[in-house]
Amino acid sequence: RAATYGRHQYEVFDIDQHRALVERLRMEQALRDALAHGDFLVQYQPEFDVHLGRWVGAEALVRWRQPERLLAAGEFIDVAEQSGLILPIGRYVLLQACRDACEWPAQHPPLTLRVNVSAQQFEAPGLVDDVATALEICGLDPGRLCLEVTETTLMHDTHDALRTMERLKAVGVELAVDDFGTGYSSLAYLKTFPIDAVKVDRSFIAGLPDERFDVALVTAIRELARALEIDVVAEGVERTEQRDALRALGVCRIQGWLYAPSLDQDVLLETLSRPPVGERPRHAPH
C-alpha cells in the first residue's frame, strides 16, 4: 500500500518504525531502572456485590511511580511483557498484594484478592512455585487468591495451560478469565478449564442498557455461568444505568469507577470499612 504513495513513503515508514523502536527501548530501560529503584507499587480496585450489599474483593493493579505522575498498567504493561520484565514485576505484585490482602478486614466469605497474570508469566515454569511461596510467606489462605488470565493466554497452548491450571487449583487458588468475550471462542474454555469466575470485558458493559447485543451477550454469559456455577464480574462499570441493568440481568458483582477507581492500600482499607455511598448492606454479614 505504501508503494502507491511513491518511493519516499517507505522512508517515512522506516522513520516511524525507528522512532517506535527507540521509544520502546527507552521505556524498557526505564522499566529496568524502576525495578531496581522500587518505583512500582500496587493499587487495588474493589469489587462490590449489589445483591449482598457489600464489598467482596479487590483487584491488584500495578502502577509505576514517576516524578510527575503515577502511570497506569495500560501505559507500560505491553513493553513489560515484550521485554520479559513482566516476570520480576509480576513476582513483586503477587507478593505485595498477598501481604496487603492479609490486612483487609475479615468477613465471611472472605474478601477475594484478584491478581492479573500475563501469558508470559502463566507460561513461565516458576509461576506455581511463586504463587505457593507468596501465599506461604504471607500466610494468606490460598482460597482468597484468584488469578486472572485472558482467553488469549489459554489459547496459546491449551494442553500446557490446562496442566498449569490444574497445578494452581491443587495449590488451592481460584482462577478467573479476564476480558471475557474479547478472545476467540470463549465459551469452549469454560468446558476445558477449571474456571471459577469470568470478568465480562468493559467493552460489553459500555453499551448497557441500550445496546441489544451487549444485553444479549451479558444474559448469555450469566446463564451459562449460572449453570456451571461460575461467578460473573462486570468490569468497567461507570454509570448507575449500567449497574441497574446488570442487577436486572442477575450480574451482582460490579467493579468500576462507579464505585471506586484503583486505590492505595490505606484508602482501600477505609473504603472497605463501609458500603459505597447510596448502597446499604442487604444481608447482615454472618
The answer to whether residue 231 forms part of the interface with ligand C2E (CB under 6 A) is no
Site string for ligand C2E, 6-45 (x = CB under 6 A): ---------------------------------------x
Partner whose footprint covers residue 93, from Mg ion, ligand C2E, none (CB < 5 to 8 Å by kind): ligand C2E
Scanning the structure block, which residue is given the C-alpha cell 520480576? 88
Chosen residue from 31, 56, 61, 197 binding ligand C2E by CB under 6 A = 61
Kindly state the smallest distance separating residue 201's Cβ from Mg ion, in Å. 6
Of the pair 148, 214, the CB lying nearest Mg ion is at 148
263 DSSP assignment: B
Q: Are 217 and 204 in contact (CB under 8 A)?
A: yes
Q: Are 217 and 187 in contact (CB under 8 A)?
A: no
Q: What type of residue is 213?
A: F
Of the pair 117, 225, the CB lying nearest ligand C2E is at 117
Strand duo 197-200 + 231-234: pairing:
parallel
Partner whose footprint covers residue 151, from ligand C2E, Mg ion, none (CB < 5 to 8 Å by kind): none
Distance of CA 250 to the CA centre of its chain: 22
Work out the angle between the directed axes of helices 158-171 and 127-138 (0-180°, nearest 10).
20
Kindly state the smallest distance separating residue 45's Cβ from Mg ion, in Å. 9
Q: Which helix (H) or strand (E) segment is 220 a member of? A: helix 212-228
Q: Are 153 and 186 in contact (CB under 8 A)?
A: no
**Distance between CA atoms of 210 and 117, rounded to whole angstroms?**
33
Chosen residue from 34, 117, 161, 251 binding ligand C2E by CB under 6 A = 117
Q: Are 161 and 150 in contact (CB under 8 A)?
A: no
Angle CA 43–272–263, to nearest 5:
20
Partner whose footprint covers residue 239, from Mg ion, ligand C2E, none (CB < 5 to 8 Å by kind): none
How many helices, marked H, and strands, marked E, lie in the chain? 12, 9
The answer to whether residue 74 forms part of the interface with ligand C2E (CB under 6 A) is yes
Chosen residue from 30, 35, 72, 162 binding ligand C2E by CB under 6 A = 72
Which residues lie near Mg ion (CB under 5 A)? 116, 148, 178-179, 235
Chosen residue from 77, 79, 146, 234 binding ligand C2E by CB under 6 A = 77
- Extract the C-alpha cell encoding 222: 450469566
Stretch of residues binding ligand C2E (CB under 6 A), selected from 28-36, 56-64, 212-220, 275-283: 56-64
Number of residues in contact with ligand C2E, rule: CB under 6 A? 26
Chosen residue from 83, 118, 242, 265 binding ligand C2E by CB under 6 A = 118
Strand duo 145-150 + 174-180: pairing:
parallel
**Residues forming the site for ligand C2E (CB under 6 A):** 45, 60-62, 72-74, 77, 86, 90, 93, 116-118, 121, 148, 178-179, 202, 235-238, 256-257, 262
